[in-house]
Structure 1
Amino acid sequence: MFRALGAYLDSIKARDPAPRSRWEVLLYPGVLAIGLHRLAHWLFKGELFFFARLINHISRFLTAIDIHPGAKIGRHLFIDHGFTVIGETADIGDNVTIYQCVTLGGTNPTNGVGGKRHPSIEDDVILGSGAQVLGPITVGKRARVGANAVVTQDVPEGATMVGVRARPTLIEAKEYQKDFVPYGTPCSEIFDPSTQKLEILQCEMEQLQKRIAAFAEERSGKSEKTATKGRDRA
């Protein structure tokens, strides 16, 4: 138990340079919220719903983090700062990082039947501050969701999503596999959501210019070869 706790605290230190020791990490509201959620979820599975909800309300009062007792959470979830909402049917994998003011929200069924209505977050995902991930969608492994993005459709593995409605940035897949990215936003490569359309057009223009230049060079090479063959025959 203590070894598992130590590994969890070390995983948080690896993603956050602020704490000087494990003792500081123990004071994080996200750590307390996850610990209380483990107890609430155990009560929820035992169908002690009232007591599970009671633990949930105490946790929300103490930490400003609202995790429904029914939510399934894997190992080493790091909720930084707080003000986060995680719905009942949410599934969260291992080593997920969630920054402040994130919502894993559900759709409202018109027939009143619950079912799966919250997102599934796979391993090593980063959700930037203010991100809203809504509905029974899947966010693939190692995906990054930038700050204030609104995600309503499945996110491919390794993608970086920005904007409202969130769309993947034009970064090659090999760049997705990099190390931990704070707030899910690779600032040196990301497109500003407010000017995203213009930047995408500029990127497409640059790619088109490169293709035209390569095509012209190829045509020039072919012309030179044809002229050389003509001279040789003569």
Structure 2
Amino acid sequence: MRGYLDSLKLYDALLDQLVHALSAEDMGLLMPYLETIMDRAVQQVSEDLQAYAERDPASCGRSELILDTYASFKAVLFHRLAHQVWLHGGLSERERIAHRLANAGKLQSGVEIHPAARIGRRFVLDHGFGTVIGETSEIGDDCYLLSGVTLGAAGIADNPGGKRHPQLGNGVEVGAGARILGAVSIGDHAFISPACVVTRDVPANTRVSIVNQLQMQRDSAAGSRGFLAAFALGERLHLVGELPESDEVCVLDAEHNPLDCLALECTVRERHHRQYRLRNLDALVPAPRYPLHLWVGGLPQEVTLLDPPGLSNLVRAVLKPHLLSIGG
């Protein structure tokens, strides 16, 4: 069967998975809420299934084949059920039942998705074995993830509560083995290349790659130049990658306003590397709002590198003798 799968058949398939994953006692607790849970889950899974059939060439558009045999799709199916259970605050033992459904999906697919994770419409998890999606993760509509992806916390043990996992915008694609760690924001239609380790925000319409553990990015528009990255080391700011001919660079504050009090003087100019010395232009300046960003012009598309490593600390050191103090 190609394309659209009959909703009644899909309902029966989900119900069959639910019955086999839960005990009779759990099903009894679920019964008063079953119709609502199933109706919402079927609607979501139907869209997920259609998106998978349309975007995965190996499936040749065969929805029934995906539903019956694709282990990665089982993970999405069980998450849709588990998340609907999780949302029912009046349901006794809802967390325990939701985790049982999530564990059933994990055992059948090798994918671990916390039942509280929020995943938007038309989600595709292709070859998903080894993927982990943490509790406070948020994924927008029309996202596509491959195997071994981690949406995790920045720490290992004893992580604080609250928001600690990534937020992915709409249309984000994440390559195999990529790790996005911490409460970072990935903008709409960003592309995270395989094996990246991303710990900083990524703007919309950006392609991200990792070279020697330095986060590189470029605008994803057709015809844009190659990857760029920036970092501060010692008393110098370094810009690396496929660089523009001109020296159009500017430090921005947290609200993306230029820091006019700073001049960037190029001290080393090479094909793929430039080094800048930062100099304060004003005698006294107000403290900027951190974190700081770096704007790079002279390209077909302007690029803003968000919070480059070490930049905020370097600017603090440069401005410290010149900052205005309140009250004298």
State the TM-score, normalizing by the size of structure 2.
0.52
Is 2:53 the counterpart of 1:53? no
Counterparts in 2 of 1:173 and 1:34: CA distance versus 1, 3 Å: closer
Match for 1:38 among 62, 80, 87?
A: 80
Asked if 2 retains the 8 angstrom alpha-carbon contact of 1:151 and 1:165, the reply is no
Counterpart amino acid of 2:217?
P
Range moving further from structure 2, 102-111 or 159-168: 102-111
* Alpha-carbon RMSD: 2.9
Matched with 2:204 is 157
CA gap of 1:69–1:22, structure 2 versus 1, over 3 A, is: same
1:76-102: CA deviation from partner (whole Å, max 9, x where unpaired) = 111111121000000011010000100
Structure 2 counterpart of 1:72? 118
> 1:71–1:87: 8 Å Cα contact kept in structure 2?
yes
Structure 1 residue 33 displacement after superposition: 1.0
Displacement of 1:25 in angstroms is 1.9
The one-letter code of the counterpart of 1:168 is: Q
Aligned residue-pair number: 187
- Equivalent positions of 1:86-125 (< 5 A) are 86-108=133-155, 113-125=160-172
Find the aligned partners of 2:54 and 2:96 in 1 and give their Cα distance: 36
- Aligned partner of 1:183 in structure 2 is none
Which secondary structure state, in structure 1, belongs to the residue aligned with residue 171 of structure 2? coil
TM-score, structure 1 as length reference: 0.71
Output the amino acid matched with 1:40.
A
Whole-angstrom CA distance in 1 between matches of 2:167 and 2:223: 20
User: Could you say what secondary structure the match of 2:180 adopts?
Assistant: strand
**How far apart are 1:45 and its partner, in Å?**
2.2
Q: How many Å apart are 1:113 and its aligned residue?
A: 3.8
User: What does 1:215-230 correspond to in 2, within 5 Å?
Assistant: none
Alpha carbons of structure 1 residues 130 and 36: separation in structure 2 relative to 1, 3 Å = same
Q: CA deviation at 1:14?
A: 2.5
After superposing the two structures, state which structure 1 stretch, 21-30 or 147-156, moved more: 21-30
Is the 8 Å Cα contact of residues 131 and 147 (structure 1) preserved in structure 2? yes
Name which of structure 1's ranges 98-107 and 19-28 shifts more when overlaid on structure 2.
Answer: 19-28
Instruction: Verify the 8 A CA contact 1:142 1:176 in the aligned structure 2.
Output: no
Cα distance change on mapping 1:174 and 1:66 into 2, 3 Å: same
The answer to whether the 8 A contact 1:158-1:173 is kept is yes
Partner of 1:167 in structure 2? 216
Distance 2:180 2:70 in 1: 23
Aligned AA for 1:146? S
Match of 1:138 in 2: 185
Q: Which amino acid aligns with 2:52?
A: I
Q: Cα offset for 1:13?
A: 2.5
* Distance in 2 separating the partners of 1:28 and 1:113: 36
Structure 2 unaligned runs (5+)? 1-5, 8-41, 228-239, 247-328
Q: Which residue of 2 aligns with 1:22?
A: 63
Indicate how the Cα distance of structure 1 residues 157 and 61 shifts in structure 2: closer, same or farther if over 3 A, else same: same
**Higher strand proportion (structure 1 or 2):** 2
User: Secondary structure, in 3 states, of the residue corresponding to 2:121?
Assistant: coil
Distance 1:175 1:90 in 2: 30
Deviation at 1:42, TM superposition (A): 1.9
Q: Which runs of 5+ in 1 are unaligned?
A: 178-188, 192-199, 210-234
The 2-side partners of 1:161 and 1:140 are apart by 11
